[in-house]
Structure 1
Amino acid sequence: MYVDTTFFSLNRQADWEKGALHNLVFTERGVRIQRSERYGFYHTIRLDRIEGLDRVADFALGENDKIYLLDRSSNVFLYDYENHYADLIFRAGHSLFSPQAKLTRVGSHLLIAESEGINRLVAYSPGTGQAVWRMNRYSGIPVHPLAITTDRNGDAYVLLPLDPVRREGVVQAADNSFYGVLKVNSGGQPLHLYQHHTLMIKKASRLHNLQERFHITVGPDGKLFILDSKEREVTSFHADGKYEKCSRIQMYGGSPSGIGVDPHGALYVGDNHPIEQAWEDNRFILQFNEDGGYVDEVTGFRGQAMKLLAGYARKMYVWNEDENLITVLEQKRRTQPLGRQGALKGVYFSHAFDSTETETVWHKITVDSELPNETQLRISYYASDQTELIVGGRRVQLDDYLQDEHIPLAEKLPVLDQLYSVPIVNPKDALLRAKGRYIWFKVEWSGNDRKSPLMKKLRVYFPRNSYLDYLPGVYQQDSGSRDFLERYLSLFGTFFDEIEETIDHMSRFFDVDSSSGDLLKWLATWLGIAVDERWSEEQIRRLMKKSPELFKKRGTRQGLEEMIEVFTGEKPFIVEYFQYKYLLEKAQVKEYMEQLYGLDPYRFCVLIKPEVVKSEEERKILQKIIDEEKPAFSEAQLVVLEPRIYLGTHSYLGINTFLSEPTLLVLDDRTTMPNNTVLIDLDRDNRIGLHTRLELDANLE
């Protein structure tokens, strides 16, 4: 039984773009909620579990995600939180600095700054504990660091008062005094002083109080940001030292503490205001734009942010002094909320589908979608013979109203909820109760932090064609049973429609490029190809397309080359006996020819580049291909070349061996040292053989 129906479809980007998309994006596979780079929970470092560590006073990032920790006893640890290993760098009682010091890493050194004392800015070697350089004055100005940070190039930035005074034996900043930020390279050489007339301390303050007031950070582009938590202002300078602007951050309540910039240049500020123990913790890390406007709060963290470091390897480190822990947040692509603090959802309003006939009874919709766990699709509709209606006391064209970007979505939704039908949740096939020439759809995507529904296609069929019309009239007399029976029979109608559509498009199942899975393997049997399960679909397609020509060349050198190229994507090198026969007459190379290729005239070698064969499984498939395609009377040897020089074996210049200029030895993921290597240092300059740590107190040169 075939019923002739008409349908509209939403499956191409041009179709979707006729409507209005809110927080949605069109991809090759369909429409889903937008995603953005956002911080989420990654790891918790519980500081009370580190043996020998007192309460933390400050922390800084070391190399390879390790953390320097300064405690209240003046111990300094280098802690590897991934492997839970703590190395004591400075032991309490060293008299080099106090627990009030600030830490940062500059190059391979640990920079320690104190606002008062004898040594106020000193770079130490973490391996030996020796001072590498120190700075107590700059251009006649005493250096009293109030805050320090480091950029991605290893240069340090030190915030200091420019005209400190000493009163009653205590150094402090005077009324209406200025401060600036000094940039210093890893060798201790001053590079630039950032200063501006807006960088002012209006009321005299002790340096200890100013340390809690100021925080600085440097963005990935070298831009400097200074947070004045008392004035709630962020001052920025360009990388060249030029003053940019001063913005007041829109932070209502709370106490700004700590500032960071992520790899994309987004600005983050922590909160350090005290709360009553019985109250709910309402302290968050807040994101701001360059003008200080509030953007969003960071999910995955709630609590005190005494200090935060952001933008390093897409991670953010937040120190919570109250709970004695450091929380590590990682930036990943996550579902984007609809508006500030909105739900993780997207909304789509379609344009009007025009049936061209008034009082059209719309039949049904079919939806092709993917719905991961904890996600949902909700579809509502509205039908009318008119495209105009009254909204908010004025007559509007519904299409124009839906796509008007000047009307906020939050204003549209309450009005339209009264207009559209009750939502159909996660439909695959659903009857419509709609009558009118035009029909509009509203689709809502609801996701979670990691997942979003994906809608590939939506079809709306019209006019109403029911299989109930083919049954005797007695089945249509009772309205209640008629409605149920009509919906019941529509399931079979959808089933028959799918079969008829499959038959109509049967030709596409015989197309190698559009077929996949078991169907593709079944098509391969039409050509007499027994496909190994380890072949990829792309390899099977290449084989099927070339099979007519390959059958003609089977058993020949060219046929074998092309067959291997089908599997690997690259032609092999084949060495036959006649190619090196003349070399066997030379005694000095005969032994090597025999070792490499043999003396059998019916034997040949197939050489494969190392990057072509990625696993032992692929090597076995290649051997099977060669055994099946070679001439019956011959013997074949498969050689997968090594990606390096092995003298006396298969090393070929320009294939797996290259000559280049000599360079310094660098140990990385592609370079290793044998386990029998011995490092010797006759003068014991770097303590080889004692207690040596690479890149801390020893280097390989």
Structure 2
Amino acid sequence: MTASDNREDERYIVLNRPDMWRRGLMAGLRELPEGGLALSEKPVYAAHSVYAPIKLPPGEEPVDFAVGLGPTLYLLREGGRRLDLYDVAAGRWFDMLDFVVSGLQGATRLAYRDGMLYLAAGTGERRLGAISELTGQLVWTADASGDRTGRPWPHASGEASNEPLDWRAGAMAVDWREGSLYVLDRLQRRMLQLDATGRAVRVFGREELDDAQPSAIAVSAAGDVYVLDGLHRRVHRFREGLEKGRFGIPLAAPAGLAADADGVVYVGESRPLSDGAEEDRYIHRYGTLGEPLGPLPGYRGPAHKLFIGESGDLYAWNREQSAIVPLQRRSVLAGGGSGQLIEGYYFSAALDSTEAAMRWHKLVLDASVPDNAQLEVSWLYGEHKRLELQGAVRDLDAYLADSSIDPSVKAIALNALDWSEARLNPRDMLLSGIGGRYIWLRIRFIASGDRSPELRSVTAWCPRQSYLRYMPAVYSEDQNGRDFLERYLSLFETFLSASERTIDRIARWFDADAVSGEYLRWLAGWLHVAYDENWPEEKLRRLLGEIPALYRIRGTREGLLRIIELYTGERPFIVETFQLRCAASAEVRETFVRLFGEDPYRFTVLLKTGQAGEESERRTVRRLIEDDKPAHTAASLVPLQPWIYLDRHTYLGVNTYLSRPSSAMEETGGAVIGQDTLLTDDGKSGFVQGKSSVGLDTVLI
């Protein structure tokens, strides 16, 4: 983007938008969410900084676990009669439920999603059930031959079968994104997919898993379903019921399977160790296509089950030590280890001055550079875009945009060009050299710690117009002296040019449509506008826009009505004393006096029901009234209430309504529900002797 600041035709080009960064080459860098560039990061799992390994309590043999929000760990024991709850943050175990009374017995598998616990039993009529985490009530069940509605399971083709489908859950997993529940049927060697309400969606994987021994499943954030085949030591990948690939796992006894948000697949080991042998079992990582990514550095030992919760943390179950180990997911700078130097490059596309032989002036960087990090900036001039690259003359911008060339190969070729001497951590730097129409920038990001330098924008100024032009001509005659003096004066130019630009553009700070945040409120203070600090900016901006018109009618009835309407969104009522002369009797007059008083210099502002409902809003309305009313008058503020109260502020058609039952109600002998009555049910399941809806959130068994 090229613009002018109206100072002797000086122009600048800014790199600060994602589309502009992407025209160049980012090698080892990432885009920041708030805009800008930083060194690439990679996710790692390491010992949790807050949560210690969870020792399982004595009792029946644990058979499965799941992790909910909080985080909360749920442990299922042998026989499915007991579920233990562990508050991970507090470090305490609690007995939770007894499934003898729940109607689902013999549960062997457990899963969790969004306040619902899913349990699967290996035998019995009811094979699957959903339990409310909040109430412990059974919400729905699915039996051995059909889904919760009694319909038969569909075939792999999606058509229903009339034949009973006996199935036995070997593992379960949930899709955090869509809410689907996947059950691994180890009896029939297939996958069953249900929605969050227990209705069958599809059956798949029968042919692909026909000769397998599937033992674990996992679902990635992208919706891929992974199945671990312990017999052939391989992983199958499915999407929407179709196999998309498979890859081998060179482990003696693979066990446990998980997939993270980046599509990395994690597989544990369960082979036994001989006495005295050194621990060499790890959690191994694989890419989506099966490429090995090495073991997980933060964990050593067997992992009989792996689970990644909605928060992204990984939990590994070590049966030998009867413990579940939480591993925290965090991001570290990619490409380096302890004490290693991490670097990345940004090569910009050509910045075009549109003029030949342009002598570029300076670069201004908006960047933050932490300790143990730095930015190195160098540049390259050219009158045209064709330069010699790898022994051939190529258009440099076309080369940067060529997606068929690996970025690392591009970086090597571009680094071989004749770049200027690098400047270290510049904020505002002069560009030396004879110049050219185009300029390319090379910015090297370097870090040796755990924090990356962040570059938010780069501004290139041209043509060269330094403070040397204000000096007598004698100071420019000697080239060496000219260069030194120009660099020396650039220090003062850096300090003063920012102030000059601020002064040049100061008018925009007085435009309510152009400013925001603290500047908008500062402008309101200049205009002595009474406003609430909690006002949204759009409301305050609208008020400031009408201030000239409001000041012309300030102190009048219409002015007060309008300013309160701008704040509350509704026009209030104003009752002045002279309007009460219409009283038809002494009794009515007495009521008027009690409600509004008889001071001829007092008036009353009536707010409609719901208008300025919070006390803080009513305080703002009172302040608006005090600032806007004539000095010799007094005012009362009355918020109207939505009920009938005789001899008080009750106004028909404003805050009080008379109604009668509708004809439909009269015919059926029904009742009228009052205006202020709200019927709602935001619960997820029923309560015994409490709210429940048979067929919706409660099942009778």
TM-score class normalised by the smaller sequence: 0.5 to 0.7
SS of aligned partner of 1:199: coil
Q: Name the amino acid aligned to 2:440.
A: W
Asked if the contact 2:350–2:397 (Cα under 8 Å) also holds between the matched residues in 1, the reply is yes
Q: Please, what TM-score do these two structures have when normalized by structure 2?
A: 0.68
CA contact (8 A) 1:5 1:463 kept: no
Change (3 A) 1:621 1:125: closer
TM-score, normalised on structure 1?
0.68
Query: 2:559 is matched by which residue type in structure 1?
Result: G
Tell me the alpha carbon deviations over residues 344-382 of structure 1, each in whole angstroms, 9 at most, x when there is no partner.
967341315347444x55432223456678876543211
Q: Structure 1 unaligned runs (5+)? A: 163-177, 203-209, 670-684
Deviations 1:108-151 (A, max 9, x none): 6652434xx78994759798899997957785665443223456
Match of 1:318 among 294, 315, 318: 315
- Find 1:111's aligned residue among 107, 119, 142: 119
Deviates more, 1:440-449 or 1:33-42: 33-42
| Alpha-carbon distance, 1:410 to partner | 0.6
Give yes or no for the alignment of 1:194 onto 2:170.
no
Q: Indicate how the Cα distance of structure 1 residues 227 and 268 shifts in structure 2: closer, same or farther if over 3 A, else same.
A: farther
In 2, Cα distance between equivalents of 1:596 and 1:300: 77
Shift of 1:565: 4.0
Deviation of 1:413 after TM superposition, in Å, equals 1.2
Q: 1:66 to 1:387 in 2, by over 3 A?
A: closer
1:547-626 to structure 2, matched below 5 A, reads 547-566=547-566, 568=567, 570-576=569-575, 602-607=602-607, 610=610, 616=616, 618-626=617-625
In 2, Cα distance between equivalents of 1:255 and 1:84: 32
Partner of 1:554: helix, strand, or coil?
Answer: coil
Secondary structure in structure 2 of the residue aligned to 1:101: strand
C-alpha distance 414-268 of structure 1, shift in aligned 2 (>3 A): closer
Determine whether 1:146 maps to 2:170.
Answer: yes
Of 86, 94, 100, 1:79 maps to 86
Percent of aligned positions that are identical: 23
| Paired residue total | 629
* Counterpart contact for 1:24–1:346, Cα < 8 Å: no
Q: Which runs of 5+ in 2 are unaligned?
A: 1-5, 147-162, 658-672
After the TM superposition, which of the residue ranges 317-326 and 520-529 deviates more from structure 2? 520-529
Gap change, CA 1:620 and 1:392, over 3 Å in 2:
same
Task: Give yes or no for the alignment of 1:70 onto 2:73.
Answer: no
Q: CA deviation at 1:570?
A: 1.8
1:623 deviation in Å? Answer: 1.6
What is the DSSP-based 3-state SS (H/G/I as helix, E as strand, rest coil) of the residue aligned with 1:442? strand
The corresponding residue for 1:10 is 14
1:412 is displaced (CA, Å) by 1.5
Cα offset, 1:559, TM superposition: 0.7
2:189 maps to what in 1? 179
Deviates more, 1:293-302 or 1:73-82: 293-302
CA shift digits 1:161-213 (9 cap, x unpaired) = 55xxxxxxxxxxxxxxx6223457899987764353222126xxxxxxx5xx4
Q: Which amino acid aligns with 2:204?
A: Y
* Preserved CA contact (<8 Å) 1:20 1:349: yes
Q: Which residue of 1 aligns with 2:392?
A: 394
* 8 Å CA contact 2:430, 2:487 repeated in 1: yes
Distance, in Å, in 1 between the alignment partners of 2:207 and 2:305 is: 27
Deviation, 1:407, is 1.9
In 2, Cα distance between equivalents of 1:385 and 1:108 = 66
Deviation of residue 430 (structure 1)? 0.8
Summarize the alignment of residues 232-631 of structure 1 with structure 2, pairs less than 5 Å apart: 232-236=234-238, 238=240, 243-249=241-247, 257-259=255-257, 267-273=263-269, 283=283, 286=286, 288=288, 292=289, 306-310=304-308, 312=310, 315-321=312-318, 324-327=323-326, 347-354=346-353, 356-358=355-357, 361-369=359-367, 377-385=375-383, 387-419=385-417, 420-437=419-436, 438-444=438-444, 453-463=454-464, 465=466, 467=468, 470=471, 485-514=485-514, 541-566=541-566, 568=567, 570-576=569-575, 602-607=602-607, 610=610, 616=616, 618-631=617-630
Q: Residues 218 and 225 of structure 2 are in contact (CA less than 8 Å); yes or no, is this contact kept in structure 1?
A: yes
Bigger mean CA deviation after superposition, 465-474 or 436-445 = 465-474
Alignment of 1:675-686 (within 5 A): 686=688
Q: Give the distance between the partners of 1:231 and 1:638, measured in 2 at CA.
A: 78
> How big is the shift at 1:458?
0.7
Aligned CA distance change for structure 1 residues 528 and 43 (closer, same or farther; 3 Å): closer
Match of 2:669 in 1: none
1:259–1:268 CA contact under 8 A, matched in 2: no
- Output the CA distance in 2 between the equivalents of 1:185 and 1:498: 60
Does the C-alpha gap of structure 1 residues 550 and 490 become closer, same or farther in structure 2, counting only changes over 3 Å? same
Q: Judging changes above 3 Å, is the alpha-carbon distance between structure 1 residues 555 and 319 closer, same or farther for their aligned structure 2 residues?
A: same
> Is residue 2:210 matched to residue 1:215?
no
SS in 1 for 2:397: helix
TM-superposed deviation, 1:482 = 7.0
Q: CA RMSD in A?
A: 5.9
In structure 2, give the amino acid aligned to 1:666. D
Maintained 8 Å contact 1:154/1:185: yes
Q: Are the aligned partners of 2:608 and 2:654 in contact in 1 as well (CA < 8 Å)?
A: no
Q: 1:267/1:534 Cα in 2 relative to 1: closer, same or farther (>3 Å)?
A: closer
Match of 1:159 among 181, 184, 187: 184
